Every structure is written in C-alpha cells, then in structure tokens.
C-alpha cells in the first residue's frame, strides 16, 4: 500500500508585498492549481503576464501601488476572484471583459487616471464594495443602479456634478463618499437611498442641504464641511440616528431649531461659519460630547448649554463673546474649554464647578482677573492666558476686585491688554473656492497632554487622497495635449 505525502506545492497564499519586484515572480505560476490569495502590493510591476490568469482558483489579487498601465482581457478568466485591488497604478481604462468576474465582491480602482467606468463594471452583480476615488470621473454609467448589492461606494475626488437616477435601486448602500467633487446641488437620488448610514459630501459647492435629506433616517454620519452652505432644511431634525454632524467652513448664519431633535448626536462641528447665535434647542442634544463652534460671530451662548451634561470638549475660539452664561458650570464632564480670541472681561464663578476641566484657553481676551473659584479645579493642568505664555500653568495670587470688593485671582498676565486683531473677512464666493486658504489660526489646538489621551473609539476620520484636485486637473489637461 502506497503512502501519499502532502504535495509540497499545495500553496494557497503568496505574499510579495514591498519586495521591489519589477515582474510577477515565476514561482507564482508553479502554484496555479492551488493559489487563492496573491499579494503583489507596493512593487514596480508594469505588466501582468498571461500565465497569471491561468490561476483559475485565485480569490484575492492585490496589485495596489505598482506601475500597471493595462489590465488584459484575460482577467475575465479568474472566475472565482472575490477581491481585486489595482489602486494607485497608471490605468487609463478598464476592459469591458471585467464583467466576467461574476464572483467579485470588492473592487478598488482608486487613484488611476481612468476618466470613465466601463459598462462591463455595471454587470458585477455580486459587488459589495467599489472604490472609484481619484479616477478622473465626470459621470457614472446610467445603469449603475444594477449593482444592487453595493454597500460601500467611494467616489471621492473626482469631477462628478450629479449621480444617475438608477442609484435609487442601491437599497443595500451604507456608505456613500462624494467628497471633493463638483456638486452644486445634492443629487435628489441621494434622498432615495434610506439605507445610508454614512454620507460624505465635503469639499463641494453645495449651497443648501435640501429637504429630502430628512429621508435619510438611518444616517449616522454626515459631513458637509467645506461647501458654500447658507441654509439647512428643518427636515435635518428627522435624521434622528445622527451621531456625527460636520458643517465646518460654510456660510451658515444660523442653525435650524430642529437641530435640537438630533438627540443621539455626540459630535457637532459648525466652526468657521457666520453664526451669530446658537439655537436654544442645542440644549436638547443630551448626548453631545464635542461642540466645535469657533471662528463664527457668536456674541453670546444660550443658557440651555448648561443642559449638555455629557459635553467634554467645547471650542469657541475667535468669536465675539463678551460673557459666558452661569449655566456653563453645569457641564460637569467638560474637560477642554477653548475661548481664545473673544471679548471676555469676566468669567462666571460657577466655572469652579467644572471639576474635570483639564485645559482652558483664555488667551487674547479682555479679562481683568479670574474668579477665585478656579482654585477649586483639581484637574486643571493647563491655563492659557497669553499666546506668549511659555508654561501651561502660571502662579495665581488672590486679590480684591476694587469695583465689587470680591476676592479674585490675578497674575502677571492679567489684566489682559491686547485686543484680538480683526480677521480678514471672506466673501461667500471666496469661502467656497478651493483655491482660497483661510489665514485664520487652526480651530484645533494641540495641548501638552494630548499624547496621554486615547482617541475615542468610533470617531470617523478621513485621510486626504494623495493628489490635490488642482494637480489632477492639470494632469488631465496634459493628457489631451
């Protein structure tokens, strides 16, 4: 009786990532019968040899960050392929034969100068994740809605001005990223995709968030920052699942009262707008942990802010605040409070109740002194009173306010004598232009203790794509010369 040994070439996975390869290794073809996963990311491969497409059992093919300019039609022979990543190459087209990859679930074509998506790509009916970011797209095929299993669609940094109406059929879509495109209006078809939980439309030319945004009642994250927004429809209050809303860098003069209906909201960013006040309804945001409202025209805060019992970070830099409501002292979880560049002369003694306060930035105000209740802040590790301050905490001495006879705190940095310098105003047209960079100081201040604090789980972040939009436009022009 013959004993059979396992064959030595029963290899299912080969990983050549970061191997400085200029060609697909010949070893790959020795395992064409068993190979299921092949990683060739981050090399200098320019051509894909025909024997590669004899690996009919291949399920995952990773080719990101190479020098590939052409996908051969033979690609269609990989009928079991579930993952194809050809991002960050030099592809100018995708063969229609890609339609043969019937098992494909994940397709990443991002960062390639494609210009258009072939009809064949709309026949990939098993597709759940499609990344087309930074591919020079000006439109999507009219029958894009065939991809009914799609859950994630990345369209960031293209030249899209609209979306096909057939996308209303994408009933499984959870994440839609259209950031940094040429949208002047939010495509109406977006309101027909109620399954969405994430919507990114930052860096466009939107002037309003329309009423149909209220149809997106499963939406958890909405980023409409860096647009030209001057209005938000009251129906935003129907998006009751929202936890993260970013409206940074727009032209908003007010927020609708209905924003207070977003009771699950944990992060609200409205910095760098034209707000003169916050609505009283903001006090109903009972789960709010972070409020960014710097670089506006706020002259006062609503008393209802004291109802934000979970608020941890409050950023109000570069406003016109002359006083703070005493109710602020009820925000018991407040950890970071930044009020740089306002017009404050006094602070309410109730701030002494903020026992978790670690960082306070009061530089560039008009403060005469500090309330003696600041001595009751056991967690305070940084108190900034001047931009020229070299240490996070300076010694404070007790004194008596000659006007009231009350005990106060003072130091060599008080009273503050330098008024905030007026900021150069941008017109609405300037503010929406991608070529205009605001000269204001950053809203986020890096504090000395930042490294000690773990970032919160679940915070969504967007890393910038590799090429600025202006350079892409020049590259596209060069292609046609």
Residues in the chain: 481
CA distance 176 to 328: 37
Q: Identify the pLDDT of residue 259.
A: 98
In 8-121 the beta strands, taken as DSSP E runs, fall at: 13-15, 37-39, 60-62, 83-85, 106-108
Tell me if residue 168 falls in helix, strand or coil: helix
Q: Identify the pLDDT of residue 465.
A: 46
Choose among 11, 34, 28: nearest CA to 63. Answer: 28
Q: Identify the pLDDT of residue 479.
A: 53
CA distance 87 to 134: 10
The token duo for 317 is: 């830099």
Beta partners for 232?
Answer: 209
Q: Identify the pLDDT of residue 417.
A: 80
CA distance 273 to 293: 8
Cβ pair 9, 30 in contact under 8 A: yes
CA distance 241 to 243: 6
The structure's pTM equals 0.87
Residue 102, number of CB atoms within 10 A of its CB: 13
CATH of span 8-136: 3.80.10.10
Contacts of 354 (CB under 8 A, 6+ apart): 328, 329, 331, 332, 334, 337, 377
Q: Identify the pLDDT of residue 456.
A: 42
pLDDT tens digit at each of 481 positions of the chain: 334 334 556 899 999 999 999 999 999 999 999 999 999 999 999 999 999 999 999 999 999 999 999 999 999 999 999 999 999 999 999 999 999 999 999 999 999 999 999 999 999 999 999 999 999 999 999 999 999 999 999 999 999 999 999 999 999 999 999 999 999 999 999 999 999 999 999 999 999 999 999 999 999 999 999 999 999 999 999 999 999 999 999 999 999 999 999 999 999 999 999 999 999 999 999 999 999 999 999 999 999 999 999 999 999 999 999 999 999 999 999 999 999 999 999 999 999 999 999 999 999 999 999 999 999 999 999 999 999 999 999 999 999 998 899 999 999 999 998 554 545 455 444 555 444 434 344 434 334 444 444 444 444 444 444 445 555 655 555 554 4
Q: Identify the pLDDT of residue 475.
A: 58
In the chain, the N- to C-terminal Cα span, in Å, equals 73
Cβ pair 173, 198 in contact under 8 A: no
Cβ pair 224, 209 in contact under 8 A: yes
Domain chopping of the chain, boundaries: 8-136
């Amino acid at each position: 009786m013959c004993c059979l040994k396992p064959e030595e070439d029963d290899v299912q996975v080969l990983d050549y990532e970061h191997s400085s390869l200029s060609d697909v290794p010949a070893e790959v073809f020795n395992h064409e019968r068993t190979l299921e996963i092949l990683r060739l990311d981050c090399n200098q491969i320019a051509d894909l040899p025909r024997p590669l497409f004899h690996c009919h059992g291949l399920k995952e093919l990773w080719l990101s960050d190479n020098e590939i300019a052409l996908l051969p039609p033979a690609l269609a022979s990989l009928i079991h392929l579930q993952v194809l990543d050809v991002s960050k190459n030099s592809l100018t087209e995708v063969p229609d034969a890609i339609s043969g990859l019937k098992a494909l679930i994940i397709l990443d074509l991002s960062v390639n100068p494609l210009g258009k998506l072939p009809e064949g790509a709309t026949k990939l009916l098993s597709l759940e994740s499609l990344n087309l970011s930074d591919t020079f797209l000006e439109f999507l095929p009219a029958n894009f809605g065939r991809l009914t299993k799609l859950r994630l669609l990345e369209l960031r940094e293209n030249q899209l001005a609209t979306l096909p109406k057939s996308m209303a059929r994408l009933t499984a879509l959870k994440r839609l990223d259209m950031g940094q495109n040429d949208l002047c209006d939010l495509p109406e078809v977006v309101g027909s995709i109620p399954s969405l939980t994430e919507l990114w439309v930052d860096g466009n030319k939107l002037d309003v968030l329309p009423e149909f945004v209220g149809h997106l009642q499963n939406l958890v994250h909405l980023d409409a920052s860096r647009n030209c927004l001057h209005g938000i429809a009251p129906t935003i209050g129907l998006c009751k699942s929202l936890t993260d809303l970013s409206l940074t860098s727009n032209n908003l003069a007010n927020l609708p009262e209905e924003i207070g209906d977003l009771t699950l909201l944990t992060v609200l960013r409205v910095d760098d707008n034209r707000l003169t006040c916050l609505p009283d309804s903001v006090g109903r945001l009972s789960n709010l942990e972070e409020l960014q409202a710097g670089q506006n025209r706020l002259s006062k805060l609503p008393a209802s802010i004291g109802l934000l019992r979970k608020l941890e970070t409050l950023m109000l830099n570069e406003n016109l605040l002359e006083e703070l409501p005493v109710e602020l002292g009820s925000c018991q979880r407040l950890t970071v409070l930044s009020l740089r560049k306002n017009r404050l002369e006094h602070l309410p003694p109730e701030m002494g109740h903020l026992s978790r306060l670690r960082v306070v930035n009061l530089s560039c105000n008009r403060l005469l002194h500090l309330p003696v209740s600041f001595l009751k802040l056991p967690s305070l590790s940084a108190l900034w009173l001047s931009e020229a301050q070299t240490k996070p905490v300076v010694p404070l001495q007790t004194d008596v306010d000659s006007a009231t006879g009350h005990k106060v705190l003072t130091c060599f940095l008080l009273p503050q004598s330098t008024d905030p310098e007026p900021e150069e105003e941008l017109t609405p047209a300037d503010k929406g232009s991608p070529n205009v960079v605001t000269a204001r100081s950053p809203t986020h201040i890096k504090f000395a203790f930042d490294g000690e604090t773990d970032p919160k789980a679940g915070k969504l972040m967007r890393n910038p794509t590799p090429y600025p939009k202006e350079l892409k436009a020049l590259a596209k022009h060069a292609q046609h010369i």
